[in-house]
Amino acid sequence: MNFTFVLSQSITQALGVTAIIYCLAAMGLNLQFGYTGLLNFGQVAFAAIGAYSVGVIVISFGASLWAAIPIGLLASVALALVLGIPTLRLRADYLAIVTIATSEIIRLLVRSIALRDTFGGANGINGKMGQAFHDLNPFHADIDLPFLTWTRQDLWVVTVGWSLIAIFTLAIWLLVRSPWGRVVKGIREDENAVVSLGKNAYVYKMQALILGGLLGTVGGIVWAIAKQSVQPDNFVPDVTFFSYTILLLGGAARVFGPIVGAIIFWFLLVFVGEFLNQMIDAGWITFLLPTDVGPIRFILVGLGLMGLMIFRPQGIFGDKRELALNAR
Amino acid sequence: MPANGQRALEAQAALSGVPRIPGAPKPDPILVASSIVRRFGGLSAVDVEHVEIQRGSITALIGPNGAGKTTLFNLLTGFDAPDEGTWSFNGKSMGRLSPYRVARLGMVRTFQLTKALNRLRVIDNMLLGAKGQRGERLWASLLPFLWRGQETKNTVRADVLLKRFSLDAKRGDFAGSLSGGQRKLLEMARALMSEPELIMLDEPMAGVNPALTQSLLQHIKMIREEGSTVLFVEHDMDMVHDISDWVIVMAQGQIIAEGPPGDVMKNPEVIDAYLGSRHEKALTESGESLTTGDAK
């Protein structure tokens, strides 16, 4: 059994492209749910908008990637407005219902046979949609350290991805420490109290929804550029729920929560999977087939997360005292 | 503490010539409302023909449970919309104005069920009350040098208020860790941060222990001495008698009497309304909370 391989795979994935995408989605949810109290259960829709903007505009329409990115971001703002205008005046649960439904509508729409010429149906869009980005790659060789192995392309995506996360984290840190952050946290606690002090809560909620959605869209754009392929079944509601898991794991309403949450979540998931695979290969486990590993790793990681929620419900960075206040 | 200062005497003098009838015109009204009707299904929760609130006075709005006091508050502050009626604040017509705009104009309210922002620190609760903050705009919030100076000034003002309300020791605590009475104080102090012209207190004494009641009364009198107008809802007759310059009595959605506290308490209609309600207090209490619009 090759333990070094297991560890190397886990660390590579924990810092890799997938972790970056989920981290961005969770950062968006942190702004929406952690700070403002908005229940967005359709974060995957914002990611899909980003990924499909790149795929459709670059591959289906043959335009430039540098045109696709701003169009994707604009489409994301438009989606947030469409979701927010009817629901943000209502109670929080309405947004949750509308967002989860919308995320499925978008997935089924891009999957539909009628629109196959544009969105590629169930096969999605495949092709060198990220080429313009990869042409700028300053790295000349793959990286192959004992615990870290990336191709030249992945290394470039990962470098830019974590740099973006650093910039966005700094921006969120500034936002939530400002009077603006105080207003949105106030809305999370009691919207009417904030309104009674002369703040237009509706506008603040809309701003949080748009900003959080944009972060999810950036995640989707990274997805399309890194994987050079977008498929509708990548954008199932599970993505949203994994992002929430990451957020709660790291600690909601904590600036570094999504980063630490994403790294730990992907490390655990890959580690458990690879570890089981190696044990089966080595003949130490005989009652499992290699095909069982996929579901079982989710069961084990799920049990671990349940343990976390029982013994440390505030997440890794959270303040238990603060969480207890909410129970009153 | 100035129990009855200059402003109290002024307010009482101004109100001395006002007729003791429902809907009486006041010499210098800050708030004027006419024909306000709010129906919930077949029930007219509020049906107020005319009411005026004298500037610089402490006016009490009393009445048995379910009389429509909180509903009237919700209507006047934009938290609920009336089926009919017009009202003006400082001469400006207020119909259909969103509640945050009402607050910006200087008419700030508190709530019957205290709304302390639990997971915000006491000082942040206070700072939230300050008006016209540059740092509350999204883009400006990323550039602290634009708002730091204003924030410092607001913090100084907040600390003065916290000291006055004896909450300075709790400055850095989460508001959720305060006692019920302290939360009432915090909510009142937070409303004062916005320097309101008219502050509307919905049952400021509910759930406050008697020891704290006296200091709360003093704080309300202080608000008047500083030139603001106070309108408050209360059940406790003794407290109303102690601090108010003028009393408006509501029953079944209508204003049934008005006058200085001494006169109103002797009014047989008021006594009827109150004594009649005593037996059903427990029943109507839950009924009233339904009409306040507090979905939570």
Say whether pLDDT at A287 is over 70: yes
Q: Could you give the domains of chain B?
A: 6-116+196-291 (3.40.50.300), 120-177 (no CATH)
* Token pair belonging to A151: 């191709």
- Count other C-beta atoms under 10 Å from residue B3's C-beta: 10
Residue B260 φ/ψ, nearest 5 degrees = -65, 155
Model pLDDT, residue B181: 86
Tokens standing for A129? Answer: 């949609």
Residue A229: the pLDDT is 95
The answer as to whether A226 is a domain residue is yes
| Tens digit of pLDDT at every position of chain B (296 positions) | 445 678 888 888 888 888 888 888 899 999 999 999 999 988 889 999 999 999 999 999 998 888 899 999 999 999 999 999 999 999 899 888 999 999 999 999 999 888 889 999 999 999 999 999 999 999 999 999 999 999 999 999 999 999 999 899 999 999 999 988 889 899 999 999 999 999 999 988 887 888 888 888 889 999 999 999 999 998 878 888 889 999 999 999 999 999 999 888 888 888 888 766 444 445 544 444 444 444 43
pLDDT for the residue A318:
80
Q: Among partner residues A175, A189, A199, which is closest to B141 by beta-carbon distance?
A: A175
pLDDT of residue B295: 40
User: What pLDDT is attached to residue B179?
Assistant: 87
Contact at 8 Å (CB) between B199 and B192? yes
Given a cut of 50, is residue A100 above it in pLDDT?
yes
Q: Residue B278 has what pLDDT?
A: 47
The answer to whether position A290 is within a domain reads: no
Nearest Cα residue to B91 out of B81, B105, B77: B105
Residue percentage of chain A with pLDDT more than 70:
99
Q: How far, in Å, CA of B249 to CA of B72, rounded? A: 12
Cβ contacts of B152 on chain A, cutoff 8 Å: none
Partnered with residue B44 across adjacent β-strands are B39
Q: Is residue A311 part of a domain?
A: no
Task: Give the C-alpha distances (Å, rounded to integers) separating B269 from A297, B45, B71, B161, B263.
Answer: 74, 19, 22, 40, 12
**Cα separations in angstroms, A160 against A222, B25, B147:** 9, 70, 32
- For A325, which of B101, B119, B124 is closest by C-beta distance? B119
Which tokens is B140 given?
A: 């400006």
Which ipTM score applies to this complex? 0.88
Is A55 part of a structural domain of the chain? yes
Please, which pLDDT band fits residue A327 given cuts at 50, 70 and 90? Answer: very low
Q: List pLDDT tens digits, range A244-265.
A: 999 999 999 999 999 999 999 9
Count of CB pairs separated by less than 8 Å, A with B:
115
Domains: count for chain A:
1
**CA distances from residue A88 to A39, A98, A161, A201, A211 in whole angstroms, order as listed:** 11, 11, 31, 9, 15
One DSSP character per residue, B103-126 reads HHTTEEE--SS----TTSBHHHHH
Mean pLDDT over the full length of chain A: 93
pLDDT per position as a tens digit, A174-183: 999 999 999 9
φ, ψ at A8 (rounded to 5°): -60, -45
Residue A62 token pair:
């043959």
The verdict on A328 touching B (C-beta cutoff 8 Å) is yes
A106 three-state secondary structure: helix
Q: Does A93 touch chain B (CB under 8 A)?
A: no
Closest Cβ–Cβ partner in B79, B120, B141 for A192: B79
In 3D space, the residue among B24, B112, B50 whose CA is nearest the CA of residue A193 turns out to be B112
Would you state the pLDDT for residue B3? 52
Buried b (16+ CB within 10 A) or exposed e, B156-172: ebbeebbeebebeebee
Among A239, A219, A206, smallest CA distance to A52 is for A219
Segment A256-284 mean pLDDT: 93
User: How confident is the model over A42-60, as a mean pLDDT?
Assistant: 96
Does the beta-carbon distance from B111 to A201 stay under 8 Å?
no
Is it the case that residue A328 has pLDDT exceeding 80? no
Domain hosting residue A110, numbered range: 3-137+146-236
Give the minimum alpha-carbon distance from B67 to chain A in angstroms, rounded to a whole number. 23
Any domain includes A206:
yes
Q: Pick the residue with more confidence: B96 or A80?
A: A80
Residue of A nearest to B102 (CA): A198
> Is A191 a member of any domain?
yes
**Burial level of B81, CB count in 10 A (0-12/13-18/19+)?**
exposed
Q: Answer whether residue A319 is part of any domain.
A: no
Answer whether residue A205 is part of any domain: yes
